[in-house]
Copies of this chain bind each other. A is one copy, B any other.
Amino acid sequence: MGTMTVRAGTPLQAVQEAADKAGFLFALDLGARGSCTIGGVIATNAGGNRVIRYGMAREHILGLEVVLPDGQIVTSLNKLIKNNAGYDLKQLFIGSEGTLGVVTRAVLRLQPAPASTTAALVGCSGFDKVPAILAAARTQFGPSLSAFEAMWPDFYDFMVANIPASGSPLGGKHGLYLLVEASEFEAGREVERLENMLAALMQAGVIEDAVVARSNGESKTLWSIREGVSEYRRLLGKVVSFDIGLQTASIGQFVEEVRTALSQRWPGILSHFYGHIGDSNLHIVTNLPAADATAQKADITRLVYDRVRKAGGTVSAEHGIGTQKLPYLSYSRTSAEVALMALIKRALDPRNIMNTGKVLPLG
């Protein structure tokens, strides 16, 4: 284990590269790595591609320096894995979106770097096959399973058609596409294990097709389809996007219901479903073809969140609440929970000057 102390404004990618140079891995990774800062990652408790293996931002932070609303600086740059001397103050600031204080520096936890990492792209008939595939991957790899992403066909076909130089690495069409990644500490062993696992799943009729990357370049190509999401605004113009959490088993049914409801109300609407399915995290993107895009966005938002509430899910798995999801916080939190959040906010920021209007419905 290593540690690294950085300023909050350091870009995530710079942190990853510095860790790499030091022979370690800073394991938090997400598509916006080039533009997001580590301070933003901490304030939002960001997730990303490797939560299944390494956890969210919270699990990568050992210490923080924070400026409180009254101007006091709390320097709590702990470097120890275990430190139970009093309350773990950093937990208050991680994920509270800047409403309790401003993070200025952080001590990051670095992981031993795996010897090699390989992705496989898998095609199967539909979501009903996911539990068996996920169970096989967990049993085969345990903690070496570093990503388990799903892409529904609308999403997959759109990206393959629009992201240059990709094209589908699989021959045929499938009901669902999975990106499975494993990281091993014996170089090359993850390739052999991925191939064994996929061959067994193929023979058992659970999956229809699969391709295992033979190089880092091939892995990047497989990931590029999933990471095409950064191109949405360029390709579709106005969109509405969601970041919801649901029990994994219920996600398949949820996707079908939402897609049907959307296309019944707005025939021809594009609805794309994908996500960190191994972490019960589903993303949805739709375009906004109606004349009144603002009204349509509000209607789609209610349509989706009403179903999230009914399913006992969360309106924010990893992107936080901000202002856009503020009206829906109560869909995923009880009034007692919100009251306790407000009590903490008032205690730390009685004048309500830190990121005012975000996260909490304060009177």
Contacts and interface: CB of A to CB of B under 8 A. Distances in A.
Interface of A: 1, 44-45, 47, 51, 53, 55-56, 58-59, 68, 72-76, 78-89, 91-92, 94-96, 112, 114, 138-144, 183-185, 245-247, 276, 279-281, 313-321, 325, 329, 332-334, 336-341, 343-344, 346-348, 359-360
28 contacts: A47-B82, A58-B88, A68-B340, A73-B336, A74-B337, A75-B336, A76-B337, A81-B279, A82-B279, A82-B317, A83-B317, A83-B332, A84-B95, A84-B321, A85-B321, A86-B337, A86-B341, A87-B95, A87-B344, A88-B91, A89-B337, A89-B340, A112-B142, A139-B185, A141-B185, A143-B143, A144-B144, A344-B347
A338 B112 contact: no
A142 B144 contact: yes
Contacts of A59: 55, 59
Contacts of A82: 47, 51, 56, 245, 276, 279-281, 314, 317-318
A320 B139 contact: no
A114 to B, nearest CB: 6
A84 B319 contact: yes
Contacts of A143: 53, 142-144
Greatest chain B CB density within 10 A among A80, A88, A318, A332 is at A80
A328 to B, nearest CB: 8
Contacts of A51: 81-82
Given A72-B336, A347-B347, A315 B88 contact: no
B185 A333 contact: no
Greatest chain B CB density within 10 A among A81, A280, A313, A333 is at A81
Contacts of A313: 80
How many of these chains are in the complex? Answer: 2
Nearest to A114: B142
Contact of A359 (B86, B279, B337, B348): B86
A84 B142 contact: no
A85 B315 contact: yes
Contacts of A185: 139-142, 144
Nearest to A78: B314
A185 to B, nearest CB: 4
A316 B85 contact: yes
A78 B317 CA distance: 12
Nearest to A90: B91
A339 B247 CA distance: 40
Contacts of A87: 92, 95-96, 341, 344, 359
A329 B51 CA distance: 34
Given A143-B143, A144-B142, A347-B347, A317 B80 contact: yes
Given A80-B246, A85-B325, A143-B143, 10 more contacts: A75-B336, A78-B314, A80-B313, A81-B281, A84-B317, A85-B333, A86-B337, A87-B95, A112-B138, A343-B348
A190 to B, nearest CB: 11
B341 A344 contact: no
A180 to B, nearest CB: 15
B319 A75 contact: no
Contacts of A347: 343-344, 346-347
A110 to B, nearest CB: 11
